[in-house]
Structure 1
Amino acid sequence: MEPRQLDKVARAELKTLSKENADFVARHLLMAGMMIDEDPALAHQHAQAAGRRAGRVAVVRETIAITAYANEDYALTLRELRTYRRISGRNDQLPLMVDSERGLGRPDRALELGRSVEVETLDVPVRVSLAIAMSGARLDLEQTDAALRELEIPQLDRTRAFSYSPDLFDAYATVLEELDREAEAADWHALARRARGALNQLQSEEDDETVEIVEEEVAGFDGDDVALDDELAGEQPAGEPVDEPSVVDQPAAVDEPGDAAAELADDSDEGDEPVR
């Protein structure tokens, strides 16, 4: 993951801290984001270091939860995301909460949690992630037909690629495999590869090396989105594609991290809010 700036919401949250403390917390959020794929345990340490200084800042609790999930600590993930949701009032991490219930072996509770929010109130990428998590819970319960229905949403569009399309197509293909519909599954896996490749190519052609695909619809080669259907038939695999950055699952970050690693053991009492 490349370093990125904090979004406007996170910047506003950190402004509730003193400048010195905000800088400290921001550096650890950056390090958590940079290390989460390479060393999840170290990323979690950075997130916890931020939490010792800013336990009531929503983006900090979100980052602790995300790094806990990367370390398969699903109970901690749930606790932190409940706190994050209470502080922020947002449901954008609901799919991760549902998946954490699955990780704890509670697919029934995962489904109940997923149904607790009106899906129309969620941003489209969050709806798609939730559908994938709900489908996984159905598979856990051996409800394969229901798992397929969870994924049959308007965003399952085989003709256009959005930021969420590769994961959705692959999830759909996986359920088809469970239903022994191998030919259809292979077709959807191929669509997922094509979508991921098109999105990665779109990223590589941008002048800004840190460009992110964060909108519901991705600007594409034809002006509106990335078309898939006309080119899929002649698809030639071109090696392993590079995964695009995940918007939902990456902690926020800032520029100029400084020597954050050296501060991991800094447990001074000058922080604004402890983690409770």
Structure 2
Amino acid sequence: MPIPDDVTGQEIDRSVRQELMSLPKTLAEDVAKNLVMVAKLLDEDPERAYAYSRTALRLASRVGAVREAAGFAAYGVAKYGEALNDFRAAKRMTGSTHLWPIMADCERGIGRPERALAMAGEPEVKQLDRAGQVEMRLVAAGARRDLGQPEAAVVTLQSSELGSTAVHPWTARLRYAYADALLAVGRESEARDWFAKALEADQGGTTNASDRLAELDGIEFVDALDPDQADED
């Protein structure tokens, strides 16, 4: 995969550079450049990010940061089995538990929600920071819904973090998930309130809470540039 001339490899985090110091210098530079491309493309072009991650993996499969990046790239293109293997390898290499929630979500992705639920009760969860524990709660609630247990999903999301008025990076997603879970069990009025709370906290536009609110309120947006909709007016 071609690397743009302006990508030097120095853009990666210092901790990743330190991991790459175990490699010969030229190899480390090549791996670093591919990891930079993975990070740059992960959101906008996940297929290309995945391709760069495979190159990095081929060059340095025994580096934890490389396995982690490869896992996120595979996850981004819904290759959940591959992602899980890479995350497991990264966890073995680094000893860190921060990947535990996304590993559980990979279990959901490959059709094993019961395994994701089991992981939510493992000792690793207690080692997660607050954001990681919220993420684990979101995954567990999703697993409950996968198993046809929508009421249990609602209960799973009820927590001190949900009731807090403070806004954190994960607040909007937690409130949104709770609103969606409430809607799934027919508690529409409460769901509307929580979609509104999610929108209040969604400073980065990470959810479509505004669209869900409009849908509940019966508001239909018309695209003025759509000739088919214009003809219907």
Relative to the length of structure 2, the TM-score reads 0.79
Partner of 2:4: none
Q: Which residue of 1 aligns with 2:110?
A: 104
Q: Following the alignment from structure 1 to structure 2, what is the Cα–Cα distance between the partners of residues 38 and 84?
A: 24
Q: Does 1:64 align with 2:70?
A: yes
Where does residue 17 of structure 1 map in the other structure? 23
Question: Residue 148 in 1 paired to residue 154 in 2?
Answer: yes
What residue identity is the alignment partner of 1:65? G
Distance 1:185 1:89 in 2: 39
Cα distance in 2 between the residues matched to 1:122 and 1:8: 22
The separation in 2 between residues aligned to 1:103 and 1:119, in whole angstroms, is 20
> Sequence identity of aligned pairs in percent?
37
Max radius of gyration: which structure?
A: 2
Aligned counterpart for 2:86 among listed residues 69, 77, 80: 80
Q: Secondary structure at the match of 1:161?
A: coil
Decide whether the 8 Å contact of 2:50 with 2:70 is kept in 1: yes
Aligned equivalents of 2:77 and 2:124: distance in 1? 30
Shift of 1:64: 0.7
3-state secondary structure, aligned to 2:160 = coil
- 1:121 maps onto 2:127 in alignment: yes
Partner deviation per Cα, 1:124-143 (whole Å, 9 max, x = no partner): 11111110000000011111
Amino acid aligned to 1:19: K
| 2:163 is the counterpart of 1:178 | no
What RMSD over aligned residues (CA atoms) do the two structures have, in Å? 1.8
1:93 to 91, 99, 117: 99
CA contact 2:12–2:35 (8 Å) conserved in 1: no
Listed one character per residue, the Cα deviations across residues 4-45 of structure 1 (whole Å, up to 9, x for unaligned) are 943343222112222222211111111111112222111011
Count the aligned residue pairs: 197
Q: Distance in 2 between matches of 1:143 and 1:107?
A: 11
> Partner residue of 2:34?
28
How far residue 147 of structure 1 moved from its aligned partner, in angstroms, is: 1.0
Distance 2:117 2:160 in 1: 20
Would you say 1:135 and 2:141 are equivalent positions? Answer: yes
Q: 1:85 to 1:158 in 2, by over 3 A?
A: same
Write the distance in 2 (CA, Å) between the matches of 1:63 and 1:82. Answer: 12
Partner Cα distance (2:152, 2:167) in 1: 25
CA–CA distance in structure 2, aligned partners of residues 26 and 60 of structure 1: 9
Greater share of residues in helix: 2
> Per the alignment, in what secondary structure is the counterpart of residue 123 of structure 2?
coil
**Partner residue of 1:49?**
55
* Unaligned 5+ runs, structure 1: 201-276
Runs of 4+ off more than 6 Å: none
The answer to which structure, 1 or 2, has the higher relative contact order (CA under 8 A, 6+ apart) is 1
SS at match of 1:97: helix
1:40/1:67 contact within 8 Å kept: yes
List aligned pairs for 1:222-261, cutoff 5 A: none
- Contact 2:17–2:32 at 8 Å: present in 1 too? no
Select the residue among 152, 162, 167 that pairs with 1:161: 167
Q: Distance in 2 between matches of 1:171 and 1:21?
A: 43
Q: Deviations over 1:94-148 (max 9, x none)?
A: 1111111111111111111222234321111111111000000001111122212
